[in-house]
Structure formats: structure tokens, C-alpha cells
Structure 1
């Protein structure tokens, strides 16, 4: 089935001193327009590698990515990216940080229109009274709001989130989750989010893609969630299937742990056998 976003046989291999290492292999995923999908898996399984390939920031080794009928060949304003750290220019104001991208993408728009666009999204994320505060004077949560506004202000076809709330306290995290979902519903932006938080994935997503352990990570399971939009946190938690899905996702992660332990034990046993064989030979 074709989708608004198509990732087909996506793979990433790095050359090392010990030979090529395949990080992601045969990763296939299609997204419909406006869909929100989370990539969930253990640290180091290749989630961020997939995201940076889709963003055009990491060269694709095999396969490809098509967005709205066009195969990507590098970064572009059709994809907005929000990282765990917002990477703002600390000496610039919140408005000036958002204007950096707006000025590059909307070259033909008037200065006033560009400023209004940046101000609009800063207001949406709750920073209407902090437009002229320098980034270095903002709290971590406020800086991440600037990062979200900066991504949305480019009016991207796709939003890519790499653990965007990972450095925030729980209250700020929940508040920003809800603000983000409100904007996504309004703008109907197709979204992929990398997370290691099961509850975050359940609350935010239409589908959750579970990734197997790396190396050679791929899609291990996909869960389609029945929760209605707009999302109300209390309703999601009270949904009769919430804890069933939560249990299945945790079980998948635990199964990956067991597979890793087994593989590590087999490697140690093989290494011991090789050492014994070498000792016998000498």
C-alpha cells in the first residue's frame, strides 16, 4: 500500500575498522497524510538513525524515502526537525531564532508577513510574552517551545521529532505534548517521533512501530491505536484497551532484552571456544 510518506527497504551501513556494520536493515513503513507514528525501541536500536535518514541529515545506504510523491535526496524545508536539545542561537531572541528559518524559506514574503508567521507559532506554543527574550535567558522548557515553533513556522509536510521532551520535567513534558498535538491537529502535519517512553507513544500516536534490537534493526511489530482525537489524557488512560496495548509493548521490549542476553551469551561461549582452540593448537 502506498502512502503520503513511503520508507522502502531503508538501510544504513557504516564502514568500520572491523568491516561494515549494518545498523538498520530492510526498514519498511508507509504513513498517511496527517498520521502520527512513534518509533519505539531500546537505546541504540537505530530509531534516530531512521529519523535522520528521513530528515536527509544522514546518507541512506539502501532503499529510499518518498514524501508526497517526491524521493528525498537531502535535507529540505518540507521536513521540520525537533531534537532533544533545541540548538538555539543563545544571543538571539526567541523571535529571531524562529525568523532564521522563516527568512530562508519565505524569501518572497514581506518582512512583516515573515515576522507575523514567526510570532503566530510562538504564540501557539505559549511564548507570546517572551518574543524578545534571548534564548539563553529562557528555561529549558521555553527553549524547546521555541524549537517546536521554529519547526512549525516552516509549514513542513512532515515533522520529525527525536525525543523532543526527553530533557524536560514531567509537568512541562505533559504540557508540551498537549500543545504539540493541538498544533498538529490544526496543521495536519504527518509526524514521526522517536521515543523510548511507552506511555508517551501511547498518548501521542496513531500507530506505534516497535523496532528490533540492532545491529540489523528493522520493524518488529506495529500497533494501531484506537484512541480518538483530539486526545484527552484522562480518556486515553481510562480506555479499556490502554493497558492491553501497554502490556504488549512492554512485553515486546522484554523479549528483545532476552534475545540480546541470549545472543551475548552465545558470543561469549564462541569466544571461549576459540580461545581454547587456539591454546590447544599452541
Structure 2
């Protein structure tokens, strides 16, 4: 079934001195409008590569991405991006950082209208009393709130999140998770988020897409998350199937670990055999 967002046979290959290096290969995923998907896998498996291709920040080698019936060919305001580090202008205020994007998306709006939009989303993320504070004076959690507000203020068709809570303490992380879900409930934006945290994935998403290890990473398994929305953390944790889903995800990751260890061992044995052969030829 076609989706609001379609990633078809998506692939990324880099040229290296030792020949082509295929990072992602034949990655296929359809997302329905308003769906929240978490992309989960080991470090280096290609999660950020997929997200950066969907964002238009990394050239696609194979396949393509369609968002709302439009095939992307670069970055655009239809896709809001929030990185692990919020990438703010430190000398600018929270308001001015959000206005950077708003001014691009609403070029014909009045100054008052643009400030109202920026102020609205900053207030939603809990920064209504910090509009005029410079980014350099904000805590890390507050800076990430500005980044989230800036992404939503663009009114994107799709939201892309690259471990947006990864650098935050656990209490701030949980608070921002709930703020994000509350805004998404209002705006119903199709969302793709990268995470390493199985509990975060289960709490936030409608489906969890498990990626195989690289190179040539692809979709390895898709898990449908059955918990009702709006999500209440205590109810999710008390769901009778919560730990079954959690264990299933961990088993997949452990299986990828075993496959990597086996592949590494085979490479080592092949290298030993090659070296032994070369020594024998030199003798």
C-alpha cells in the first residue's frame, strides 16, 4: 500500500580508496500520514544515513523518497529536522532562532504574525518566559526545546528526529518526550525518529523499524506497537505485552551482535590464511 511517505529501494554508496562502500542497500519503508516511526539499530548501522537522505542533506545513490506525492531532490521546509545537538545561533535569542525558519516559510507575513507563530511554539515547549534569552544562556534541555519549536514552527509535512534526547538527563528526556507527543497529537505530523533506546521507541512510536548491521544495512524487522494514544507512561509500562515487545527488540539486536562477531571471525580467519599463503610463497 502506498504511503504518505515512501522510501523505495533507498541506497547509499560511498567511493573509497578500496572501492565502493555500500552503507545502506534496498531500504524500503512506507509511512502513513500522522504515523510515528522509530528507527532502531546498533551504532554505525546506517540509521542517520537514512534520515539524512530523507532530509535531503545527503545525496541518494539508489532509489528515492516521496513525501506527499513529491519526490525529494534536496532539503526543504516540508521536512523539519531536529538533531541531537540543536544547532542554534548562540548569540541570538530563543525567539530569533525560531524566527530564522519562520521568516523563510512565511515571507509575506507581518512581523507581528511571525512573532506570534514563533512565540506560540516556544510556549508549547515550555519557554514562554524565555523568548528573549540568548541561546548561549540556555541549558542544554532548553536549547533542545528551541530546536523542537523551530522545527514545528515551519509547519512541516514530515518531522525528522536524530536522537533528539540523546544528550539529555533522564528526567529532561522524559519531559521532552511527552511534550513532543502532545504537540504531535495536535499537529498530526508524520514523524521518523532515530533512537538507540528500546524503551523510548516503545513509548513514542506506532511502529519500530529494526535495522540490520551495516554494511549493506536494510530493514530487518518491523514491530507494530499496540499501545493506545494518547500515551500515558505508567499505562504503557503496565501493559501486559510491554516486556514481550521489549524482549523481542533486544533479541533482534543481540542476533545482530552474533552475526557481526561471526562475520568478524570469518574475516580474521581469511586474513590469517592470506598472510600464511603469502609467507609460504616468499619462503
Tell me which interval the TM-score lies in, with the shorter structure as reference length: over 0.9
Question: Which portions of structure 1, spanning 4 or more consecutive aligned residues, are displaced by more than 2 angstroms?
Answer: none
Give the structure 2 partner of residue 271 of structure 1: 271
1:74 maps to 2:43? no
Q: Distance in 2 between matches of 1:18 and 1:196?
A: 30
Please show how residues 223-242 of structure 1 align to structure 2 within 5 Å: 223-242=223-242
Gap regions ≥5 residues in structure 1: none
Q: Distance in 2 between matches of 1:69 and 1:58?
A: 20
Q: Distance in 1 between matches of 2:59 and 2:242?
A: 37
Q: Distance in 2 between matches of 1:192 and 1:250?
A: 20
Give 3-state SS (helix, strand or coil) of 1:213's partner: coil
Give 3-state SS (helix, strand or coil) of 1:20's partner: strand
Give the CA RMSD over aligned residues: 0.3
Q: Distance in 2 between matches of 1:110 and 1:188?
A: 26
Q: CA deviation at 1:109?
A: 1.0
Q: Distance in 2 between matches of 1:146 and 1:189?
A: 18
Query: Deviation digits for residues 10-44 of structure 1, max 9, x if unmatched?
Result: 00000001000000000000000000000000000
Q: Distance in 2 between matches of 1:7 and 1:16?
A: 26
1:148 maps to 2:132? no
Q: Distance in 2 between matches of 1:251 and 1:260?
A: 14
1:61 maps to 2:61? yes
Q: Distance in 1 between matches of 2:157 and 2:247?
A: 33
Q: Distance in 2 between matches of 1:2 and 1:241?
A: 29
Q: CA deviation at 1:221?
A: 0.1
TM-score by length of 2: 0.99
Q: Distance in 1 between matches of 2:94 and 2:236?
A: 33
Give the structure 2 partner of residue 260 of structure 1: 260
Please show how residues 58-137 of structure 1 align to structure 2 within 5 Å: 58-137=58-137
Give 3-state SS (helix, strand or coil) of 1:58's partner: coil
Give 3-state SS (helix, strand or coil) of 2:160's partner: strand
Give 3-state SS (helix, strand or coil) of 2:21's partner: strand
Gap regions ≥5 residues in structure 2: none
Q: Distance in 1 between matches of 2:68 and 2:108?
A: 24
Q: CA deviation at 1:110?
A: 1.1
Please show how residues 149-164 of structure 1 align to structure 2 within 5 Å: 149-164=149-164
Give 3-state SS (helix, strand or coil) of 2:164's partner: coil
Q: Distance in 2 between matches of 1:87 and 1:4?
A: 28
Q: CA deviation at 1:111?
A: 1.0
Give the structure 2 partner of residue 185 of structure 1: 185
Give the structure 2 partner of residue 44 of structure 1: 44
Give the structure 1 partner of residue 194 of structure 2: 194
Q: CA deviation at 1:248?
A: 0.3
Count of residues in correspondence between the two structures? 282
